Structure 1
Amino acid sequence: MRTRLSLSVRGKRLLRELRRLRDERQMSPEDVAGQLGWHKTKLYRIERGESRLILDDLDELLELYGVRSPERESLFKLGKDAWKRGWWLAYRDLYQGESFFVMENDAAKISVFATNLLPGLLQTEEYAREVIRVMVPGATSDELARQVAARIERQGVLSRPTPPQFLAVLDEASLTRPVSSKDVHDAQLRALIELGKRPDITIQVVPLHAGVYMGLWGQFTIFEFPDEEDAPVAYQEGLFGDVYVEDSDDLARYKLAASKTRDVALSPADSLALIEKLSKESR
């Protein structure tokens, strides 16, 4: 079975546009391959994201399809950005694939529903180090240091000039569960308070008195993208690997869990007040 490349949102958009251009010209992949002297399966692999599209091949396709400026320049820019090397490639030996990092990097909105531990994008370095040490018991000291470095580098997505909208819905238990020392725990709570004041970050807390709610099925993330044609993707991490959900029916269950979880969460203002209260109590 072929493995699809971890395309960025720009890469997926480019492939959609190339398929549209071919369909408008009523050409089959075999027609295109014959006129360009390509193997008959080459365009199939490119359009399915199974083969990397180099710029020379893109140039040939656009010439065949008769695409002129300014659309040509726009598609070339997509082609240059589609498979751009991300910072995460320096850590690829630590993780299975890069799809998560690609989606997190390209998303316009990231919604995390965290019932057990605080989301990685909100963790302080000390909190992250302790969590990774416990959750990855076989990691060497070097691997631990690199995993912490990768987690902190991930947080750069929230420091961009135009960052994605970030929503974190936390369970109160994740705020009260001791992690390392009291100093580390309190520093993490105070960091949450400061992050929650930013206009691009929304933090809500489900209080313990809310009882059982749908989000307790497990921690998950929903990525939404700038282009309406790029459907949202739900992500859930587990002991036996990562799950990415794009099917509309399956995605609807995650959206329902998200909605039900927010229904029982405190407002952002009340949530920050609760975190401030917990911070004072932890000192």
Structure 2
Amino acid sequence: MTERRSPTVRRRRLGAELRRRRETAGVTIDTVAARLECSASKVSRIETGHTTATPRDVRDMLEIYGVTGPESEELVQIAREARQKGWWHPYSTVLTGAYVGFEAAARSVRAYEQQVVPGLLQTKDYANAMIRAARPDITAEEVDHRVHVRLKRQSLLTQDDPIDLWVVLDEAVLSRPVGGDVVMRAQLDYLVEAADLPNVTVQVLPFEAGGHAGMDGTFAILDFPDESDPDVVYAENATGGLFLEKAEELRKYIFIFDHIRAAALRPEESVAVIEKRAKEPLWTSRLKGFG
């Protein structure tokens, strides 16, 4: 299997390795900052993966920690890779680049969605309509860029080393005609096609399930092939989202996802429901009821 190298994940791994070596050496962040003649916040942001470190900075930091030779060169090389630009970089002003970077290197994604079809499973017309509705404040050009990136991300499902995607959709997702009748029916048909891929599992959480473990909101759990890269949870919101990496946070969301998928319809039943909704949409019957 080919490793999908993502600068986002490399930066995160580098930060964790630098922090571990600093703590092993018994050196404080303030001491490192003084030696490098930079701010303590910069050192902290490097360690948390929020700032890209130069190979020179990494070499100097490792020298402070007493790390030399092949071990040092390996981390310096990771620093070089972390400074490379991902394919999504030109669109960084219109998307959550960190999430796309994590997704690009993930082995699997487990997601729960309450309102819309996840980006990896959206049609072009649905994506366009959804983004326009959710972001009335952005320009048509920005919408086009977001749609372009969203569609390009979908190659992760069909490339030589595809990610495994397991999605649980609230039934509300199937019942809201984003983009209108024609667009939504085509989207539901596409969901059925995508669910036929061996690496894609789609479940529907029906209204009849009542209250459930996922009522606090939408999230995705990303798992990576290298043990050096721990799982991460992305909880989405209107301002972009929140990344959660602490062990107890991960355990909580894995627990929640397991309960949601247990409450949802089985995959084959879910596909049957989606097919039925494409032929007999709830929104048309509701409109007749209001007539």
Specify if TM > 0.5.
Answer: yes
Judge conservation of contact 2:52–2:82 (CA < 8 Å) in 1: no
Q: 1:281 to 1:232 in 2, by over 3 A?
A: same
Q: Deviations over 1:245-268 (max 9, x none)?
A: 223334433223212211111111
Q: 1:85 to 1:190 in 2, by over 3 A?
A: same
Q: Deviations over 1:18-37 (max 9, x none)?
A: 45556667777788899xx7
Distance 2:272 2:231 in 1: 31
Q: How far does residue 94 in structure 1 lie from its aligned partner after superposition?
A: 2.1
Judge conservation of contact 2:10–2:81 (CA < 8 Å) in 1: yes
The answer for the alignment partner of 1:87 in structure 2 is: 87
Q: CA RMSD in A?
A: 3.2
Distance 1:217 1:15 in 2: 31
The answer for the alignment partner of 1:78 in structure 2 is: 78
Q: 1:13 to 1:140 in 2, by over 3 A?
A: closer
Question: In terms of mean alpha carbon deviation, does 231-240 or 13-22 score higher?
Answer: 13-22
Q: 1:188 to 1:7 in 2, by over 3 A?
A: same
1:39-50 matches, within 5 Å, as: 39=37, 44=43, 46-49=46-49
- Residue 66 of structure 1, aligned match among 65, 68, 92: 68
Q: 1:185 to 1:59 in 2, by over 3 A?
A: same
Residue segments in structure 1 that go unaligned for 5+ positions in a row: 1-5
Work out whether 1:219 is the aligned partner of 2:218. yes
Judge conservation of contact 1:103–1:223 (CA < 8 Å) in 2: yes
Work out whether 1:136 is the aligned partner of 2:135. yes
Distance 1:117 1:33 in 2: 45
Judge conservation of contact 1:29–1:40 (CA < 8 Å) in 2: no
Distance 1:179 1:29 in 2: 49
Residue segments in structure 2 that go unaligned for 5+ positions in a row: 1-5, 285-291
Question: In terms of mean alpha carbon deviation, does 213-222 or 189-198 score higher?
Answer: 213-222
The answer for the alignment partner of 1:155 in structure 2 is: 154
The answer for the alignment partner of 2:287 in structure 1 is: none
Q: 1:231 to 1:44 in 2, by over 3 A?
A: same
Q: Deviations over 1:110-138 (max 9, x none)?
A: 11101211111110000111111111112
Judge conservation of contact 2:11–2:52 (CA < 8 Å) in 1: no
Judge conservation of contact 2:115–2:172 (CA < 8 Å) in 1: yes
Q: TM-score, normalised by structure 1?
A: 0.80
Partner amino acid for 1:39?
A: E
Q: How far does residue 85 in structure 1 lie from its aligned partner after superposition?
A: 0.9
Q: How far does residue 152 in structure 1 lie from its aligned partner after superposition?
A: 1.5
Q: How far does residue 162 in structure 1 lie from its aligned partner after superposition?
A: 1.0
Secondary structure at the aligned position of 1:162 is classed as coil
Q: Deviations over 1:197-233 (max 9, x none)?
A: 1121111111232222222322211122223343322
Q: 1:117 to 1:26 in 2, by over 3 A?
A: closer
The answer for the alignment partner of 2:112 in structure 1 is: 113
Secondary structure at the aligned position of 2:138 is classed as coil
The answer for the alignment partner of 2:8 in structure 1 is: 8
Secondary structure at the aligned position of 1:116 is classed as coil
Partner amino acid for 2:244?
A: V
Q: How far does residue 167 in structure 1 lie from its aligned partner after superposition?
A: 0.9
Distance 2:39 2:139 in 1: 44
Question: In terms of mean alpha carbon deviation, does 180-189 or 115-124 score higher?
Answer: 180-189
The answer for the alignment partner of 1:254 in structure 2 is: 253
Partner amino acid for 1:10?
A: R
Distance 1:253 1:33 in 2: 35
